[in-house]
Structure 1
Amino acid sequence: MCDFADDCGDGSDEGKNCNSQYKTCSPQEFTCQNFKCIRKQYRCDGEDDCGDHSDEVDCKKENNTCPEGKFTCNNGQCIDSQLVCNKVPDCSDESDEPLHCNVDECAKVEIHRCGHKCVDTLTGYYCDCNHGYKLLEDGKACADIDECIETPGVCSQHCSNTPGGFYCKCDERYYERQNDEHTCKRKDATEPWLIFSNKYYVRNMSVDGRQYNLIHQDLMNVVAIDFDMKEEEMYFCDVTAKTIFKSKFGAIVDDVKIEKVPVIKHDSHGLEGIAIDWVGRKLYWLDRHSKNLDVSELDGTKRKTLKSGVVDPRAIVVHPGIGYLYFTSWHLQAYIAKMGMDGSNFTRILTWEDDIAWPNALTIDYFTDRIYWADAHLDYIAFADLEGRHRHVVLSGNKVPHVFALSIFDDMLYWTDWNMKAIIRANKFTGQNFTVIRNTTHRPYDVHISHPLRQVPYNNPCGQTNGGCTHLCLLAPPLESTYLNVEGYIEEGAPSYKCACPNQFYLARDMKTCIANCTSGQHRCGGADEKCIPWFWKCDGEPDCKDKSDEPESCPARHCRAGTFQCGNGNCTPSTTICDGTDDCGDNSDEQNCDLPCPVSDFKCRSSGRCILDSWKCDGDADCKDGSDEDPEICHKRSCDPDTEFSCKNGRCIPKLWMCDFDNDCGDDSDEPAYMCRQRNCTTGWSRCPGQSNYRCIPKWLFCDGKDDCRDNSDELPENCPKCNAETDFKCNNNRCIPKQWMCDFADDCGDGSDESDAQCKG
């Protein structure tokens, strides 16, 4: 039993009954239908290695063609052409002597019924099509080939399909079509520069890697950058500093540092991607901690949350030409989403069902209207149109082992790779001309090409009067319901705009004026940075308002570090401990004023009075110490998203993938019905845990990662883990395999610290 052989004859001794005993196949192996693991190179080799023939199913066999002057029999045998139709069967299958020998079927249309051409052969005929057409499945009719979709790299930029052919077009404002009628060449002579970051510095570099300059150093963890060509300013996120900075372009000269100015420095504990709207003059960013997508003016004022509940966000890009932005989430239900730059029309254009697992990188080709992304788990770079259609893989496998960020310019892609510790480029359609531009000491993070054509001048619908809006004027999708033609390119319709208000403000009936809605538990900033801030930010030694009205001269003398709470007894405590239900000060002064009302966008914890983001309410995690944000009495009123969430019996909403995961996420066990879970199949790309009686499904890439994802540690047992490659991999103490170049790089890649141990890194 469970030996991969059907000994019973009906399969009852194998298959699902043995799930707990079969080991999970490694990425280097093929999983047979009987759950046996074989080497990938054994698939489609003509031999039944699985024992159930599943390794020989759906194998495309190359057509056997015989040399010139020879006839190909139906069974692949080759005989001399002169032996065909000689009334003697020379092919072992007698296919050289059909009943219709020496008959010209092409002479009569009623016989061949070919749409375009009929080609007579010695033993019959076949239909063929004119150039630019393909034969349909009936073997007779012909259909036009859409080269623009089926051969994406046929044109550098825009492609128009025509009957039997196609026509390439270039954006004539900036490019000229070359004599080959396919390639677009830039008219300007401005050299593009590549800007990239790592934890400690930001550098710029010529695209051939020959010129290499330092812009900023002594940074802590710069994961994302973007730039504004109009003002020649660069914006970057420092995760450790919890701040978005901006600075002028340029390299450090004579050790004179370029000043960096904080733009966003509050409530930004998990900064990820950033994007500059160079037309509407706005800053967009993602935050992993708050799970928010926010927008503000370029100076950080008038901050507004556009979308909440974005779990594990990563990359974000904007397209001001159509009023949309795109961003990624690498949560268990990973996706690439599209949303209006005003927060409208949120749509997942690609999901985990489209082989999206860890979408790290994102960029837009504004001249072809295609979106490019890279998956750091499935190891590929691909593109699609702006609706997620007509997907095409550019590169996959060991050339892209862990892409972190992408950029594009002309016909080349540029990206950073953690495994290779390098900055690389290749053709944006084919992946050809693969070149390592520069190797780096530390893992490179974000990368951008700096050139005016990466920020082409679209019309700004907000105009010179800010659209009449008193606060934010945000670009929005076109008012027309359709703005892309059938080829996926912008045809008609320009982006519109919408007036919006900062957090804690609301829009008046005129849809242009914002009115403050600060509570008694907040201080209202004045001037250009009109906003509401928590009461405990006042007199904390750090100006949070641009007009500094939160730090008047009447504030008591301070000795605590700026940004912390100074207790009544003189002790200091982080502001995050205020109203958490615990006397952190020792005199309970951090638990006073907790009965003040929370902002309208927040939820107030029942016992402590702490204010938390409203998006954290009923999300399956108890953020209030008393669990009041997950109270069934509150949560049952919320309607679950039928596409992505499971509705618990107690009213709580949890991600669908949490159902049957061996955890009581609902709190009433309604997500763990054993009779259903044992019969439930795992999602594509996921595997059932090897442990006996464990029905939990986890992504295949969580196996052997040093963490107990199965809850019984069966995904970390040596017998269920692939063997490391002795030449390229280091085996961690927890059985995880990591690239050798990750050793001794001051990052705990193993998860147990064994790749950074003194035994490995000293001597």
Structure 2
Amino acid sequence: MFTIDKTCISGHLHCSGHPDCADGSDELDCGSIITKCNPKTQFDCGGGSCIPLAQVCNGRQDCPNWEDEPKDKCGVNECLINNGGCSQKCVDMPAGYHCECNAGYKLVDNTTCRDINECEIPGSCSQICINEKGGYKCDCEKGYLRDPRNLTKCKAIEGHASLLFARRRDIRKISLDHHEMTSIVDNTNSATALDFVFRTGMIFWSDVTDKKIYKAPIDEGNDRSAVITDDITTCDGLAVDWIYDHLYWTDTGKNNIELANFDGKMRKVLIHDDLEEPRAIALNPVEGWMFWTDWGSNAKIERAGMDGSHRQTIVGYDVRWPNGLTLDLMKKRINWVDAKLNIVSSCDYNGGNRRIVLASPEFLRHPFSITTFEDWVYWTDWDKAAVFKANKFTGLEAQAVTPSEMVQHPMVIHVYHPYRQPDCENHCQAVNGHCSHLCLPAPQINKHSPKISCACPEGLRMLLDGLTCVQDEITTTTDHEKVSNRTTTFTENYIPKNSNTTKEQIETPDDPGIVAGIAIVISLLALTILGIAVYCIYRHYADRNVTSMNFDNPVYRKTTEDQFSLEKGKFQPTRPYLSTVGEEAQHPLTSANTNDLPY
């Protein structure tokens, strides 16, 4: 190469970390240099021209301007002087030299080696990673042991993990050891969302046709009972709090998130604002957080405390149809599947360190639900009608757990294992946390955060003590009595202590005209409030009917055996949409942009 002063140096000396030109120009603009020659086997003549090292310093011209025959470099071993300035290895070359690093280190410039932090590389260890100088070591959390076949991986000590998933007409379980499939609950109409309490062996599931939430013992699945039977529309997502014994669910018909106890009593709406199409929901009662997805026009993933406080959006960009969501309690991360972008993604609980685990239209044709255990993520796919898995860190080794087209209408899936629901102290157990009704876990924002929060079921209000719920006072006295009582109270409060005037002397008879005027004012005020309420309800449903026309994530809501109904707007498309999902998704929600259809 030519320097600023037009002198020539060997191409391999450009950006070598040592100024070889008098003006130092060979070390300028090095950030944009892309080396195409392999320094271990080739010599760089400059301009992207490479020759074998054997042709360097052989007395013949092999580079255009004799760069391969530098007289001051040939036969000189620069490594003999101060190790060539290298912090670790100095490798002498026929013309010049270069620096190398020991295993576990990397060059941060051309001479300095720095330790590689392998723990920053996803998947270096399954669980605990300890960085060391020039290397690292792995360890496992309590309840796990390192796999003797691969010491970077951790395996559960106890239990045999299974996959528990809804299949619309039934609920099934697949053993991960032998891939044996068994039926847990038969003869369901449209089983969709589900979860379990491993401690009691109870499973919960929603049926979007029955518009109910059921529960049953996992070993006697047909001994079912209804938990939520009314005021529920379309429950796409359901999660159990296995520590405080509460059931949480999303309702995409009412656009809210509700909770109740395991008997369906003491129901409470936790989130009801700014929800368009809430679907999956996952809980971490150990730290008091809940997470959910929303595939509306502004698709996002949100979190809030399990008492409904501290709500925030944690994923608000590059997300379209976040159908499934699961928590990795060991790594403190969330994983989700996006059916529009055909990806599995992951991030921290607060939305940081986000990355794509797997992007594959082949394995992620139309994923609906996702779960995780040990080093794997598992998901259901509508188009493939199967269950798949892949490495949760790298997305590698993606493969089918069940043969394609074998699991018709796969819906929500969970790994059934005790480690998916770790034990933790129930801070409400002692006297219900002093709460009169609902005692809920509070989000653990810092070490000073309260452990629990009291809440009231629908129809009750909280007193100022933050513990007691009461019904709103119902006044049965007449307007005449109210005026009379107020007059009496005023008079009693203002009788001078030293006065000889009696209470009877101060009271005056009520004026019928005043009473009538007050009654008229109260009536007019009530009519005005009623009119405003009716108008707001009308606008709410009008907006919902318009909004529902903008989405095209397929739905599966079935009202009869042969006909489907869209829950929003009751709109039926004028032409059929081809689908390989099966009955549940033959008619996607219509979209103004026909080019944006999922098939």
Both structures adopt the same fold (TM-score exceeding 0.5) = yes
Distance 1:409 1:101, change over 3 A: same
> Which residue of 1 is the match for residue 103 of structure 2?
131
| Range that drifts further, 117-126 or 261-270 | 117-126
Matches within 5 A, 1:157-196: 157-176=127-146, 178=148, 180-188=150-158, 190-196=159-165
> Which residue of 2 is the match for residue 317 of structure 1?
282
> Which residue of 2 is the match for residue 228 of structure 1?
197
Distance 1:234 1:114, change over 3 A: same
Distance 1:512 1:431, change over 3 A: same
Distance 1:313 1:93, change over 3 A: farther
> Which residue of 1 is the match for residue 291 of structure 2?
326
Q: Note the C-alpha offset of 1:734.
A: 7.2
Matches within 5 A, 1:584-599: none
Q: 2:531 aligns with which of 557, 582, 606?
A: 606
Give 3-state SS (helix, strand or coil) of 1:387's partner.
Answer: coil
User: Could you tell me which amino acid in structure 1 is paired with residue 116 of structure 2?
Assistant: I
Partners of 1:734 and 1:750 within 8 A in 2: no
Matches within 5 A, 1:687-702: none
Q: 1:455 aligns with which of 405, 418, 421?
A: 421
* CA deviation map 1:178-215 (0-9, x unaligned): 47431222222x22222111322212222256432223
| Range that drifts further, 286-295 or 269-278 | 286-295
Q: 2:184 aligns with which of 208, 211, 215?
A: 215
Give 3-state SS (helix, strand or coil) of 2:137's partner.
Answer: strand
User: Could you tell me which amino acid in structure 1 is paired with residue 156 of structure 2?
Assistant: R
Distance 2:301 2:232 in 1: 22
Distance 1:479 1:382, change over 3 A: closer
Consecutive unaligned residues in structure 1, runs of 5 or more: 1-58, 253-257, 482-492, 522-593, 613-620, 630-662, 666-697, 704-731, 753-763
Pair 1:500 & 2:455 matched: yes
> Which residue of 2 is the match for residue 8 of structure 1?
none
Partners of 1:349 and 1:387 within 8 A in 2: yes
> Which residue of 2 is the match for residue 708 of structure 1?
none
> Which residue of 2 is the match for residue 515 of structure 1?
470
Distance 1:426 1:265, change over 3 A: same
User: Could you tell me which amino acid in structure 1 is paired with residue 540 of structure 2?
Assistant: D
Cα RMSD, aligned residues only: 4.0
Distance 1:323 1:330 in 2: 24
> Which residue of 2 is the match for residue 747 of structure 1?
586
Matches within 5 A, 1:217-616: 217-250=186-219, 258-309=222-273, 310-352=275-317, 355-397=318-360, 398-438=362-402, 439-440=405-406, 442-478=408-444, 480=446, 496-517=451-472, 606=531, 609=534, 612=537
Distance 2:525 2:146 in 1: 64
Q: Note the C-alpha offset of 1:387.
A: 2.6
Distance 1:163 1:91 in 2: 42
Give 3-state SS (helix, strand or coil) of 1:153's partner.
Answer: coil
Partners of 2:170 and 2:188 within 8 A in 1: yes
Distance 1:193 1:95 in 2: 66
Distance 2:583 2:258 in 1: 36
Q: Note the C-alpha offset of 1:240.
A: 2.1
Distance 1:98 1:235, change over 3 A: farther
Give 3-state SS (helix, strand or coil) of 1:622's partner.
Answer: helix
Q: 2:117 aligns with which of 122, 143, 146?
A: 146
Distance 1:146 1:339, change over 3 A: farther
Give 3-state SS (helix, strand or coil) of 2:308's partner.
Answer: coil
Q: 1:85 aligns with which of 57, 64, 73?
A: 57
Distance 1:746 1:166, change over 3 A: closer
Partners of 2:232 and 2:251 within 8 A in 1: yes
Give 3-state SS (helix, strand or coil) of 1:276's partner.
Answer: strand
Distance 1:292 1:733, change over 3 A: closer
Partners of 1:605 and 1:624 within 8 A in 2: no
User: Could you tell me which amino acid in structure 2 is paired with residue 186 of structure 1?
Assistant: A
* CA deviation map 1:546-594 (0-9, x unaligned): xxxxxxxxxxxxxxxxxxxxxxxxxxxxxxxxxxxxxxxxxxxxxxxx9
Partners of 1:461 and 1:495 within 8 A in 2: no
The structure whose residues are more often helix, as a share, is: 2
Distance 1:749 1:275 in 2: 26
Pair 1:205 & 2:171 matched: no
Give 3-state SS (helix, strand or coil) of 1:321's partner.
Answer: coil
Pair 1:101 & 2:73 matched: yes
- Give the number of equivalent residue pairs: 489
Distance 2:536 2:524 in 1: 10
User: Could you tell me which amino acid in structure 1 is paired with residue 224 of structure 2?
Assistant: K
Give 3-state SS (helix, strand or coil) of 1:511's partner.
Answer: coil
Consecutive unaligned residues in structure 2, runs of 5 or more: 1-31, 477-522, 554-572, 592-599
| Range that drifts further, 227-236 or 160-169 | 160-169
Distance 1:401 1:204, change over 3 A: same
Distance 1:513 1:125 in 2: 79
TM-score, with structure 2 as normaliser? 0.71
User: Could you tell me which amino acid in structure 2 is paired with residue 478 of structure 1?
Assistant: Q
> Which residue of 1 is the match for residue 512 of structure 2?
none
Distance 2:475 2:194 in 1: 37
| Range that drifts further, 85-94 or 211-220 | 85-94
Distance 1:505 1:100 in 2: 91
User: Could you tell me which amino acid in structure 1 is paired with residue 271 of structure 2?
Assistant: K
Percent of aligned pairs with the same residue?
33
Distance 1:376 1:416 in 2: 11
Partners of 2:552 and 2:588 within 8 A in 1: no
Distance 2:376 2:303 in 1: 24
Distance 1:286 1:127 in 2: 59
Distance 1:316 1:512, change over 3 A: same
Misfit runs of 4+, over 6 Å: 59-62, 518-521, 594-598, 732-736, 743-746
User: Could you tell me which amino acid in structure 2 is paired with residue 121 of structure 1?
Assistant: M
Distance 1:495 1:141 in 2: 49
